[in-house]
């Protein structure tokens, strides 16, 4: 008999693969919130404190990279027509290594444990490299290379570069070589992570999902074709300028000018996205859109902060400045966008897998919930408000830590708790329906056994 289930599922990984990544993200969010709640103002002294570094990586690796990796494993068959080879093994392995590696890295930052650091770097290195290799194979095999695929390829390359700089910085090799200017290299590491990996992936995915979710016009073809490659080359050049500045060959301001041009590219992307969304044909209220809008508004906001810091040394050298910029980018852009995406991806995947099961069983008695029955709009909207409040409070905490830090932690805790609850609710409904379908399959089986 024709197995209809495998026909449309043969390329999609089992639902448990992306879901484990999606459910891990709010756990790190909760951990980060607890840290904010407990340590409060201590987190906002300087970006260099071990506590702050730990918190930063909880968000970048534990939340952002976690969801991005899970989503890539899921989406590549759909947007690229090219499944990730060995997706179950790769997905399981990378999830364990990235989760434990992130936990270990945070432990190492907080405790200063050298062993912890070595284990953390080994795990992160192993997890990211396996992920990189598997995804690169899938991306290599793509037949029709769209602008999205180009951007994803570059983003994944940027992930590897971020990792390499991270390993270099974490291993302590530089210190033992007597290398003094660690701070500039940290900037290179985070530029590749934030602008390269997160930024380019966001741009590539936007080309697909912005027109798709709200029925907007397409991004202008020239922007689609050129922006991501230009930003990647720009990042490379900027990195060389930074290395030149570190070794005293190039004046530091040349690298600043390079960064300014890169930032203009991202602002162009954000403004274009806001304009396209304003022209959307689909005008029903949409929670994901509201999350995205927050993210898109924070790109020019962060650009302005960066410009202020570059123009005025008084601002640029203030420890609050980089914290404000960091919170704006990580929470304002990164978390906002991935949190919003989860409200589309999770209900859709739940529906998709169940619907396929239902069709393969030809079962009309068990009803598959629609997307909004997995996660009701009301619950998602409340979480959006909690998130936005926590974002504003965390921004305020960078300037007035004593007043706002604990409160920011409290709201971020509530936001992530509700996100977790919403995701678990979707999963619960998924399981419930799956059980009902399995029960139907069994009863159909036993009745046909009885007859035959």
Which range of residues in 53-61, 158-166, 232-240, 277-285 is near other proteins by CB under 8 A? 277-285
Site string for other proteins, 76-95 (x = CB under 8 A): --xx-x--------------
Smallest gap from Cβ 15 to other proteins, in A, equals 15
Out of 248, 283, 449, 451, point to the residue binding other proteins (CB under 8 A): 283
Note whether 235 and 189 are within 8 A (CB): no
Quickly tell me which residue has 């396209």 as its tokens: 276
Note whether 409 and 34 are within 8 A (CB): yes
Note whether 64 and 155 are within 8 A (CB): no
Distance of CA 242 to the CA centre of its chain: 26
Helix, strand, coil % (nearest 5) of the chain?
Answer: 85, 0, 15
Q: Which residue number, 368 or 434, has a Cβ lying nearer to other proteins?
A: 368
* HSE of 273, CA atoms in CB hemisphere, 13 A: 29
Q: Is 222 in the site for other proteins (CB under 8 A)?
A: no
Q: Which residues within the stretch 334-353 sit at the binding site for other proteins (CB under 8 A)?
A: 344, 347-348, 351-352
Size of interface with other proteins, in residues (CB under 8 A): 29
Smallest gap from Cβ 284 to other proteins, in A, equals 5
Which range of residues in 150-158, 164-172, 280-288, 325-333 is near other proteins by CB under 8 A? 280-288
* HSE of 137, CA atoms in CB hemisphere, 13 A: 12
Q: Which residues within the stretch 3-62 sit at the binding site for other proteins (CB under 8 A)?
A: 4, 7-8
Q: Is 282 in the site for other proteins (CB under 8 A)?
A: yes
Q: Is 146 in the site for other proteins (CB under 8 A)?
A: yes
Whole-angstrom Cα distance, residue 39 to residue 35?
A: 6
Note whether 333 and 302 are within 8 A (CB): yes
Q: Which residue number, 10 or 442, has a Cβ lying nearer to other proteins?
A: 10
Whole-angstrom Cα distance, residue 209 to residue 196?
A: 19
Angle at which helices 114-140 and 147-170 cross, to 10°: 160
Question: Residue 49: left if φ>0, alpha if ψ -120 to 50, beta else—which one?
Answer: beta
Smallest gap from Cβ 285 to other proteins, in A, equals 8
Q: Is 244 in the site for other proteins (CB under 8 A)?
A: no
How long is the chain? 452
Q: Is 354 in the site for other proteins (CB under 8 A)?
A: no
Out of 373, 379, 406, 436, point to the residue binding other proteins (CB under 8 A): 373
- Residues near other proteins (CB under 8 A) are 4, 7-8, 78-79, 81, 143-144, 146, 208, 212-213, 215, 281-285, 344, 347-348, 351-352, 355, 359, 370-373
């Amino acid at each position: 008999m024709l197995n209809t289930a495998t026909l449309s599922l043969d390329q999609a990984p089992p639902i448990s693969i992306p879901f484990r990544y999606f459910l891990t993200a709010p756990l790190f969010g909760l951990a980060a919130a607890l840290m904010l709640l407990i340590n409060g103002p201590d987190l906002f002294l300087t970006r260099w404190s071990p506590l702050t570094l730990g918190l930063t990586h909880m968000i970048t690796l534990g939340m952002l990279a976690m969801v991005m990796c899970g989503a890539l494993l899921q989406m590549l068959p759909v947007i690229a027509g090219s499944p990730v080879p060995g997706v179950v093994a790769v997905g399981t392995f990378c999830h364990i290594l990235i989760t434990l590696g992130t936990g270990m890295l945070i432990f190492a930052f907080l405790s200063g444990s050298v062993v912890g650091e070595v284990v953390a770097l080994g795990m992160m290195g192993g997890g990211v490299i396996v992920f990189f290799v598997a995804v690169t194979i899938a991306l290599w095999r793509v037949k029709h290379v769209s602008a999205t695929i180009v951007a994803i390829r570059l983003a994944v390359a940027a992930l590897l570069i971020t990792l390499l700089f991270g390993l270099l910085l974490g291993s302590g090799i530089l210190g033992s070589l007597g290398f003094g200017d660690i701070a500039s290299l940290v900037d290179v590491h985070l530029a590749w992570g934030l602008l390269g990996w997160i930024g380019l992936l966001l741009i590539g995915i936007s080309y697909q999902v912005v027109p798709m979710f709200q029925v907007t016009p397409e991004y202008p073809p020239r922007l689609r074709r050129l922006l991501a490659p230009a930003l990647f080359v720009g990042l490379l050049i900027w990195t060389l300028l930074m290395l030149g500045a570190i070794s005293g060959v190039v004046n530091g301001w040349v690298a600043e000018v390079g960064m300014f041009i890169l930032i203009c590219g991202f602002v162009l992307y954000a403004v274009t996205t806001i304009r396209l969304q304003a022209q959307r044909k689909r005008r029903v209220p949409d929670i994901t859109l509201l999350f995205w809008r927050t993210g898109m508004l924070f790109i020019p906001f962060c650009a302005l902060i960066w410009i202020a810091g570059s123009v005025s040394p008084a601002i640029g050298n203030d420890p609050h400045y980089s914290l404000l910029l960091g919170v704006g980018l990580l929470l304002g852009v990164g978390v906002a966008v991935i949190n919003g995406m989860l409200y589309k991806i999770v209900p859709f995947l739940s529906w998709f897998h169940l619907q396929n099961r239902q069709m393969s069983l030809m079962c009309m008695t068990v009803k598959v919930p629609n997307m909004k029955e997995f996660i009701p709009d009301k619950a998602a909207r409340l979480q959006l408000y909690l998130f936005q409040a926590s974002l504003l409070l965390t921004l305020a905490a960078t300037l007035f830590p004593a007043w706002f830090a604990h409160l920011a932690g409290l709201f971020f805790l509530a936001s992530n708790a509700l996100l977790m609850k919403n995701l678990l609710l979707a999963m619960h409904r998924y399981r419930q329906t799956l059980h009902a379908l399995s029960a139907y399959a069994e009863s159909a089986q036993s009745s046909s056994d009885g007859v035959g």
